Amino acid sequence: MKAPITAALIPYIKGYTNDDTLSSKEIMIVRLPQADGQSKVRFRFLDTGTSSWFWGIDNFGLYTISTPVITTQPLSQTIDAGTPVTFTVAASSSTPVTYQWKRNGLNISGATTSAYTIANVQPSDAAQFQAVVSNSDGPTKSSLATLTVVTVPLVLTQPPSQVADPGDTVTFAPSTRGGRPLTFRWYFNGVFVPNSASNLVVNNAQPSNSGAYQLVVTNSYGAATTTVAQLTVYLGPISSNLVVHLPFDGDLNDTSGRTNNATYAYNGTNPDLTPTFAAGKIGQAFQYTTLSDASKFDYATLGYPDDLKLGVNTPFSVSMWVNYNNQGDDLPFISNKDWDSSNNQGWGIFTQDGGNFRYNVTGPNGSSDKFNATLGNVIRDGTWHHLVISFVRSSISPSGFVYAYLDGVLVSRTVMAVAGTIDTAALPFANHQGQTSSQTTWAVNIGQDGTGVYYDNGSVHDIGARIDDLGFWRRALTANEARGIYHAGLAGKDLSQALAVEKLSITRSGNNVIITWAANPALKLQKSPNLSPGVWTDVPGTLGAEAATVPISGSASFFRLSQ
């Protein structure tokens, strides 16, 4: 504490710093913009520094001055070596102003305008810059702006792994920076890709393009390497790696051939003792309910078979038709985790209070190892909607895209980087809802979280919700497959009968056009002179083929693939 100053002490008080009676004194002029135009001003003086046992103020005065007022301060910037930088300042003044820029407190020769530019930044230019704006009443100093110069290459965002259909254009676009010029060298499965640039574009991707991609960035200061990104160009049957298929046509049996049957489960004081099946999108659907008073928890459980243990890097996809309109809060469609917190380990796809949906994946490290995506698309409208969430994961890549398809259309593509297992099977079983569960171990549940008793402590209800034609794959589905499942459902066919919506590629060769597509034994090429009404005829010899040569006729023709 500072000692009180008494009348007896006053004659002995002098300012000292290192026994110097002058250097401890500071003459300050402070601009007070909040006092402008005010008839009364109140001041408070406070010592918060490390002074000795006393301090004082003398010759305090208020003056009306018209020095420039800086309205826009120069900003600190981080700039790559070899690129330009400009600092700017703006000021208001009732009289003409002059400018002088300073570098580390020293005037910069010729820098006498409101902007100061360094055309080719070098490491030696790193410093603090300040503008002094003056008029006839005096100078005003700007705040300090720090210039940081980046030399060695840096990778700011990594290229995520992707899945694609044959014929897609795939782009890997990591974000990099560093001193210029930068040199980019992409490698595919360890082999240099000629004509590399900052982004790598794979046109007309084919299964042969599947593999590992990595970028090395170099300059005169050093080098940086991105993580590996895995590209999978999938061409195969929809049933590949399908491990659960629940048509819900009067039972909970799995038709994937993996015998991962679901069973009916319930909790609460007044549950339905037998499962309810209602009209579905294709045949029948499973109907479930959770009430906010915790009296009813009806759901289907898949238990925890090995096929649903995803570990650290197994890709997976979930497809389902959903229909609900009496819902609040965020009951899961499907989940293996304690949804009391999104920070809890596990994964799931969930309703949201606004009628939209969300999906979450969390690793063992909780909030620091979590992926969330909440979409604004409203699906709580009492009609059937089709969801596909496709999670790209890879043993050689730390991140991958998560694709969300709603009614056959891609509505989100987000990067996920979750480390460690996302399974809950080996965790001690517990829940934070204060309700008794019939489960003693974790499970992958449909219409509930992994505990079977989630109701968000009285906030959740989802009454009579229906789910149909649920599929689970140990791979990431493609856009064509998501569209194919949706269109199959519109035609009253389940996902096992879905065919990928193929893309046609057309090129000209002389007086012919060459039309190619991914071969499928059930598809044939058709043509029509117009789209409306569209009279389609088969192109002979194209059933199960992958190409057709069509003479140029001089009139318009439209082509499609059809079963």
Q: Is there a single domain that holds both residue 209 and residue 344? A: no
Q: Is there a single domain that holds both residue 205 and residue 331? A: no
Q: Is there a single domain that holds both residue 490 and residue 510? A: no
* Whether the Cβ atoms of residue 356 and residue 404 lie closer than 8 Å to each other: no
| Domain finish residue from 198, 233, 268 | 233
Q: Is there a single domain that holds both residue 418 and residue 540? A: no
Q: Is there a single domain that holds both residue 540 and residue 455? A: no
* Whether the Cβ atoms of residue 132 and residue 102 lie closer than 8 Å to each other: yes
DSSP H or E run through 481: helix 479-490
Q: Is there a single domain that holds both residue 401 and residue 548? A: no
In angstroms, the CA 498 to CA 489 distance is: 8
| Domain finish residue from 474, 497, 520 | 497
Enumerate residue ranges in the chain where pLDDT < 50. 1
In angstroms, the CA 243 to CA 533 distance is: 41
Q: Is 541 part of a structural domain of the chain?
A: yes
Q: Is 509 part of a structural domain of the chain?
A: yes
Q: Is 119 part of a structural domain of the chain?
A: no
The pLDDT score that the predictor gives to residue 252 is 98
In angstroms, the CA 180 to CA 248 distance is: 60
CATH code (residue 348): 2.60.120.200
Q: Is there a single domain that holds both residue 428 and residue 460? A: yes
In angstroms, the CA 13 to CA 4 distance is: 12
Q: Is there a single domain that holds both residue 266 and residue 344? A: yes
Q: Is 351 part of a structural domain of the chain?
A: yes
In angstroms, the CA 185 to CA 285 distance is: 52
In angstroms, the CA 336 to CA 442 distance is: 7
Q: Is there a single domain that holds both residue 391 and residue 484? A: yes
> What does the pLDDT look like over 256-315, one tens digit per residue?
999 999 999 999 999 999 999 999 999 999 999 999 999 999 999 999 999 999 999 999
Percent of the chain surpassing pLDDT 90:
77
162 pairs with which residues across the strands? Answer: 231
Q: Is there a single domain that holds both residue 347 and residue 212? A: no
The pLDDT score that the predictor gives to residue 254 is 98
Q: Is 359 part of a structural domain of the chain?
A: yes
**If you write DSSP's letter for every residue of 220-252 in order, what string do you get?**
TTEEEEPPPEEEEE--S-TTTTEEEEE--SSS-
CB count within 10 Å of CB 539 equals 18
In angstroms, the CA 344 to CA 366 distance is: 6
Q: Is there a single domain that holds both residue 264 and residue 208? A: no
> What does the pLDDT look like over 446-475, one tens digit per residue?
999 999 999 999 999 999 999 999 999 999
Q: Is there a single domain that holds both residue 462 and residue 314? A: yes
- For CA atoms 552, 555, 561, 563, the dihedral sign is negative
In angstroms, the CA 320 to CA 388 distance is: 7
The pLDDT score that the predictor gives to residue 16 is 56
Containing structural domain, residue 288 = 242-497
* Whether the Cβ atoms of residue 272 and residue 266 lie closer than 8 Å to each other: yes
**If you write DSSP's letter for every residue of 183-211 in order, what string do you get?**
EEEEEETTEEETT--SSEEETT--GGG-E
Q: Is 93 part of a structural domain of the chain?
A: no
Q: Is 252 part of a structural domain of the chain?
A: yes
Q: Is 202 part of a structural domain of the chain?
A: yes
Q: How many domains does the chain have?
A: 3
| Domain finish residue from 444, 468, 497 | 497
Q: What's the per-residue H, E or C state across 335-376? A: ECCCCCCCCCCEEEEEECCCCCEEEEEECCCHHHHEEEEEEC
CATH code (residue 179): 2.60.40.10
The pLDDT score that the predictor gives to residue 280 is 98
